[in-house]
Amino acid sequence: MREGILIIGAGGVGRVVVHKAVQNLDTFKKITLASRTLSKCEQIQKEVDGKIDIAQVDADNVEELIDLIYKVKPFMVLNIALPYQDLTIMEACLRTGVHYLDTANYEHPDTAKFEYKLQWAYDEKYKQKGIMGLLGSGFDPGVTNLFCAYLQKHYFDEIHYIDILDCNAGDHGYPFATNFNPEINLREVSAKGRYWENGEWKETEPLEVKMVWDYPRIGKKDSYLMYHEEMESLVKHIKGLKRIRFFMTFSESYLTHMRCLENVGMLRIDEIEVDGCKVVPLHVLKALLPDPATLGERTVGKTNIGVVAEGIKDGKKRKVYIYNICDHQEAFKETGAQAVSYTTGVPAMIGAKLMVKNIWMKPGVWNVEQFDPDPFMDELNKQGLPWEVEEL
């Protein structure tokens, strides 16, 4: 009998998923955490008083994953490792007939480009096997998709314009550090910007477009247009859409450091030879930067991530802002992780909870906005990520 969840990845987000899953043990019954480094699993196991099982796995290796899944016999696997592992974990789930969930879309280690194509290609095979894959159940992607679906369901007949606004006003006291995996973060931020308008994608230079947005309970912040993966599925699933953009805040200090590192070649993802050793500059940088999992204790301030939608309701124009505010220190007190990990880990747990409870369950590969948003939105309020709606 298949029961419980197998969480793969014991980083900042994995820690939150475990803590929140343990809070919902009546739903999950049995929790196993597996990662490449067993000591990281042991640490998290201690934090939750031994209420989880742990295992070591290399999630790049499909056969190892299959062996682990047969051993643990979970109802589903939560992929909280890195986007590089999406396809191997999806493949292992397919071969063992176990449901799948993740928080970030596939990216090849050698190309800084993420897209859903290869994951959506599993749809037919998952349908035939009778298993479900839920893609992008974090905050953005994840909750931002559900904010759009919720507004579409309850506030609009048609949404024409969407701006996703992601502000992290947390201060960790370091001159430069990233709030989640430095490699993934820096690849994303240094990439070209992209948004969708009138049926086509438009490209900008990296961080070329800037606006100032007044984030509730944070204040005005410089916000930069970036490409972000939730737009790829939202343009398919939000009817009547004319434009969608994504903005993220960065401090001057972060940007100056990043540009300098980029200019000297430290963001390169190709191999170079140094004193006879082959190294990837971005991997060296990752090794030097603070581990995001250790930032929790020293990070103060809040995040505010939300969606501004404009459209038509009953023949009249309407503009609505929906957002969540999360406090870094409160997140840390509850789970030992800062708000960026918290806002990702809680929705991953909620997605899994809805699947385990058979509330969101249909064979195939889906993005979160393809399900009824209401049960997820209710859980957000109960599980530590309450949201607010304002008419603008």
Of residues 311-340, which lie at the interface with ligand NDP (CB under 6 A)?
A: 340
Beta bridge partners of 325: 304
Check residue 13 for interaction with ligand NDP (CB under 6 A). yes
Cβ proximity to ligand NDP: between 36 and 298 the closer is: 36
Check residue 141 for interaction with ligand NDP (CB under 6 A). yes
How many angstroms separate the CA atoms of 178 and 291, rounded?
Answer: 8
Of residues 337-356, which lie at the interface with ligand NDP (CB under 6 A)?
A: 340-341, 344
Across the chain, which distance is largest between two alpha carbons, in Å?
Answer: 69
SS3 of residue 302 by DSSP: strand
Exactly one of 14, 170, 306, 336 binds ligand NDP (CB under 6 A); that residue is: 14
Cβ proximity to ligand NDP: between 189 and 311 the closer is: 189
Which one of the spans 29-37, 269-277, 294-302, 317-325 is the region binding ligand NDP (CB under 6 A)?
A: 29-37
Cβ proximity to ligand NDP: between 233 and 311 the closer is: 233
CA distances to 342, 347, 352, 381 from 27, rounded to whole Å, are: 20, 15, 10, 17
How many angstroms separate the CA atoms of 330 and 301, rounded?
Answer: 10
Check residue 292 for interaction with ligand NDP (CB under 6 A). yes
Total residues interacting with ligand NDP, rule: CB under 6 A: 35
Cβ proximity to ligand NDP: between 10 and 162 the closer is: 10
Site mask for ligand NDP (CB under 6 A), range 37-76, x = bound: x--x----------------xxxx----------------
Classify the C-alpha dihedral 102-299-53-375 as positive or negative: negative
Cβ proximity to ligand NDP: between 169 and 311 the closer is: 169
Residue 280 near residue 198 (C-beta atoms within 8 A): no
Which amino acid is present at 280?
V
How many angstroms separate the CA atoms of 86 and 133, rounded?
Answer: 11
Q: Where are the beta strands (DSSP E) in the chain?
A: 5-8, 31-35, 53-56, 76-79, 99-102, 132-135, 158-168, 193-197, 200-204, 210-215, 219-225, 243-249, 272-274, 277-279, 302-313, 316-327, 364-367, 387-391
Check residue 364 for interaction with ligand NDP (CB under 6 A). no
Cβ proximity to ligand NDP: between 156 and 250 the closer is: 250
Cβ proximity to ligand NDP: between 39 and 128 the closer is: 39
Cβ proximity to ligand NDP: between 311 and 346 the closer is: 346
- Cβ neighbors of 311 (< 8 A, separation 6 or more) are 156, 157, 158, 159, 160, 161, 240, 317, 318
Least Å from the CB of residue 349 to ligand NDP: 13
Least Å from the CB of residue 150 to ligand NDP: 17
Least Å from the CB of residue 178 to ligand NDP: 9
Question: Cα angle vertex 54, ends 48, 56, to 5°?
Answer: 140
Least Å from the CB of residue 41 to ligand NDP: 9
Check residue 103 for interaction with ligand NDP (CB under 6 A). yes
Check residue 9 for interaction with ligand NDP (CB under 6 A). yes
How many angstroms separate the CA atoms of 125 and 349, rounded?
Answer: 25
Residue 309 near residue 374 (C-beta atoms within 8 A): no
Check residue 149 for interaction with ligand NDP (CB under 6 A). no
Least Å from the CB of residue 347 to ligand NDP: 7
Check residue 138 for interaction with ligand NDP (CB under 6 A). yes
**The tokens 């599925």 sit on which residue?**
233
**Residue number closest to ligand NDP, CB atom:** 11
Check residue 80 for interaction with ligand NDP (CB under 6 A). yes
Cβ proximity to ligand NDP: between 306 and 311 the closer is: 306
Least Å from the CB of residue 344 to ligand NDP: 4
**The tokens 């247009």 sit on which residue?**
225
Least Å from the CB of residue 382 to ligand NDP: 19
How many angstroms separate the CA atoms of 193 and 211, rounded?
Answer: 14
Residues that bind ligand NDP (CB under 6 A): 8-14, 35-37, 40, 57-60, 80-83, 85, 103-104, 138-142, 180-181, 184, 292-293, 340-341, 344
